[in-house]
Amino acid sequence: MIVILKPGMLASVQDLGRHGHRERGICPGGALDTLALTLANRLVGNADGAAGLELTMGNCEIRFEQATRIALAGDDFDARLDGRPLRAHWSVPVAAGQTLRLGGANVGTSKKALRSWLAVAGGIDVAPVLGSRSTDLKAGFGGHEGRALKKGDRLAIGTPRLDAAQMARRAFGLHAPDWALDGEPLGAADPIVLRVMCGPEFEQFTAASQKTLWKALWRITPQSNRMGSRLAGDTPLARRRSVDMLSSGVIPGTIQVPPSGQPIILMGDAQTTGGYPRIGVVIRADLWKLAQAPLLGQLRLVEVDATGAQMAWSAQQRYLRQVAQGLASAGWPAAL
């Protein structure tokens, strides 16, 4: 069992998402940074799709009643296990009774971060609903009682795939994804660059707005959440003609432009259909950066085509293969 002593801003049980039900209006949800959850899961010998905890803006405390093994991905928020520093992207043994504490983010100071993902060996053991253990916060089902975690919640843990010796092994770490893929920590990137393909309604926008999309510095407003990152720029985006759009499918990464002209980048908990023009779509390989981009942080959007997007995706897959090989040669069970 693990016990939530302090949940922080928003803690919820998430796996890689509830896929295959968009036709029913059910959004995929899941960990907004699937790369982070996958890495954390592999570090503790879990299947990639095991359920973990998504933590928002640190400030949380979790106690482990039994000995186990954990890994944190995303920002570490000065994590400490019974006072000793715990690094992100490390696989760490935990003794019975130890408490993990994440410090708080200080918006407006040099500490810029947003989310973390915690994997526990064996995974969070909640009943799957519609094929997933993710929490659908909007519709109130899945995960732990269909809601955000609160103080006092106790969560069961599944059976680890690691044997006793592996569970007790000394802590070891991985080459973090931001360093591996971009050569610098995400926290140092300012603005964070997201690669974007033109959206189906890109041509409806004025020439000036099309340029603004790529040139502007977009601020991530505090109104951002798991449904989407609401951006603010100095110049609103405008279409040449204001035409009502028929409802059309939207996916995470879709950049919608409502009448205000300030874009919203949709994320896992967004509705499955929308009626606002889609000026662009963030490529799959960059969604993890959006999931971690801090409130009040800045984004720059850079145009790529399908080929550029595939290259970025291939680079990420290569990194994951290297991780799998590294863990396999350390004796870890094969990635699932």
Partner 1 sequence: MSAPRLHALGDAALLCELPAPATLAQQQLIWALATEARSWPAVREVLPGMNNLTLMFDPALAEQAEIEMQVLTVWPQLSAAPIEGREIVIPVAYGGEHGPDLADVATHTGLTPAEVVRRHSGGSYTVYLLGFLPGFAFMGGLPPELATPRRAEPRLAVPARSVGIGGEQTGVYPLVSPGGWQLIGRTAVELFDPSAAEPTLLRPGDRVRFVAESIDL
Give the contacts of 137 (CB within 8 A, at least 6 positions apart).
12, 29, 146, 147, 148, 226, 269
CB 289 within 8 A of CB 196: no
Among 284, 319, 324, 333, binds partner 1 (CB under 8 A): 284
* From 150-158, 176-184, 213-221, 267-275, span contacting partner 1 (CB under 8 A): 267-275
Question: Could you say whether residue 140 binds partner 1 (CB under 8 A)?
Answer: yes
# residues near partner 1 by CB under 8 A: 40
Question: Could you say whether residue 319 binds partner 1 (CB under 8 A)?
Answer: no
Amino acid at residue number 153: D
Compute the least distance from the CB of residue 31 to partner 1, in Å. 18
Residue 144 corresponds to which tokens in the numbers above? 């732990």
CB of 307 or CB of 329, closer to partner 1: 307
* From 33-41, 63-71, 77-85, 137-145, span contacting partner 1 (CB under 8 A): 137-145
* From 52-60, 112-120, 159-167, 279-287, span contacting partner 1 (CB under 8 A): 279-287
Taking CB under 8 A as the criterion, which residues in 142-181 touch partner 1?
142
Residue 322 corresponds to which tokens in the numbers above? 């290297």
Compute the least distance from the CB of residue 270 to partner 1, in Å. 11
Among 107, 129, 180, 232, binds partner 1 (CB under 8 A): 129
Taking CB under 8 A as the criterion, which residues in 186-215 touch partner 1?
197-200
Question: Could you say whether residue 139 binds partner 1 (CB under 8 A)?
Answer: yes
**C-alpha closest to that of 69 among 162, 177, 6, 4:** 162
Compute the least distance from the CB of residue 304 to partner 1, in Å. 9
Compute the least distance from the CB of residue 234 to partner 1, in Å. 26
CB of 6 or CB of 319, closer to partner 1: 319
CB of 38 or CB of 68, closer to partner 1: 38
Question: Could you say whether residue 24 binds partner 1 (CB under 8 A)?
Answer: yes
Among 2, 79, 281, 295, binds partner 1 (CB under 8 A): 281
Question: Could you say whether residue 185 binds partner 1 (CB under 8 A)?
Answer: no
Taking CB under 8 A as the criterion, which residues in 223-262 touch partner 1?
246-251, 253-254
Cα-Cα-Cα-Cα dihedral of 54, 28, 259, 214, to 10°? 70
CB 181 within 8 A of CB 323: no
The contact set with partner 1 (CB under 8 A) reads 19-26, 129-130, 136, 138-142, 197-200, 246-251, 253-254, 271-273, 278, 281-284, 306, 309-310, 313
